[in-house]
Amino acid sequence: MSRFWGVAARIALLLSLGLAFAWSLAALWISGPMVFRPLVHRPWSLPSEGRLRADVERLCFGFGPRDSEHAGNLRAAAAWIADELAGVGFAVALQDYDTPAGPFRNVVARRKGTDPAAATVIVGAHYDAVRGSPGADDNASGIAVLLELARTLPRQSRRPLTLVAFSTEEPPFFGTESMGSVAFVRELLGSDTRVELMIALDCVGYFDTANGSQSFPSPAIGLFYPDEADFIAIVGDAAAGSWIREVKRGILSVGSIPVQSIRAPEWLAPVDLSDHRSFRAKGLPGVLLTDTAPFRNPHYHTENDLPATLDYSRMAALVLALHGVVSHPDDAPPTP
């Protein structure tokens, strides 16, 4: 009998070790890829918290409401975004497209790279808001970060850069052919543009350092991450590992903001809830950079999603982090 229990104990130990090993592998795969020894990248110029706040307030109060029933407000917001991007040296075009609800437009800003063989990097954010919400975090925060990135990047870079402000991301358009990002991808595929990386900025302004402030789609996923909502998240599908690694390496090279990442199939976690989904649907690169929206922000999609609820210091830190993703230490500094 003692021999039986000895064998049983060894089997139980081996099973426990095997389960622990499998769990560790799952944790590394979902929360990875891991990045070792990122290059040290010193950003070119410091972003302004004041400009970030002013941009969020202007989108929320100067152009609100920004839902599809207020198309005039969206056109005015698009014109302002276009002027801001053109003012810092980007070649800007307005891309008009039709939907069952009427015409809308994307703002597309391009800058050539010094390497004619390099593929472009695309950073995008939607400027419309859900009906009934000022849309500070969702997604004036993404547009504000996009604009501040444009202002503070070096004047030249090796890779071409495309910045896009998308319209009609929110319901009733989300997940349909009427999304602004779908229209952009449709036109992109008709050109000879090669895409190295696409990053969607969506809900990037809400942070909280309190214990338990971060939640997750499932308790099991939460075991892999901190429960304080003080990090930015890179989100991608199961095939997005190389793009997640590139974004994470760039963010870590600056070291200005804590970063976590998740790659998972759609059935395990909501990994396609923004404009990057339009790129991935056509086999193009695409990841989401987010504060995780409803998984930490109690004001998400409500009338209380106001500029005063955002953390402009961390938004500025995110702009710095994006320097490490889209530029290179040898790129030319910005024009004084």
Residue by residue, DSSP assigns 148-199 as HHHHHS-S--SS-EEEEEE---STTSTTSTTSHHHHHHHHHHTS---EEEEE
Is the pLDDT assigned to residue 67 strictly greater than 80? yes
pLDDT confidence band for 139 (50 / 70 / 90)? very high
DSSP state of 295: G
Is the pLDDT assigned to residue 286 strictly greater than 50? yes
Six-digit token pair at 172? 């009733």
pLDDT value, residue 325: 95
Is the pLDDT assigned to residue 16 strictly greater than 60? no
Residue 161's contacts (CB-CB under 8 Å, 6 or more residues apart) are 110, 111, 113, 120, 121, 123, 153, 326
pLDDT value, residue 21: 44
Query: What is the average pLDDT across 283-287?
Result: 98
Segment among 179-193, 270-284, 297-311, 320-334 with least mean pLDDT? 320-334
pLDDT confidence band for 23 (50 / 70 / 90)? very low
As a whole number, the mean pLDDT across the chain is 90
Q: Which comes out higher in pLDDT, residue 259 or 44?
A: 259
Is the pLDDT assigned to residue 228 strictly greater than 50? yes
Cα 32 vs. chain centroid, distance in angstroms?
17
Taking alpha carbons only, the member of 135, 84, 165 closest to residue 307 is: 135
**Other CB atoms within 10 Å distance of the CB of residue 111:** 20
Is the pLDDT assigned to residue 25 strictly greater than 50? no
pLDDT value, residue 156: 83
pLDDT value, residue 336: 46
**Other CB atoms within 10 Å distance of the CB of residue 86:** 15
Query: What is the average pLDDT across 81-109?
Result: 98
Q: Which comes out higher in pLDDT, residue 28 or 113?
A: 113
Length of the chain: 336
Query: What is the average pLDDT across 98-116?
Result: 96
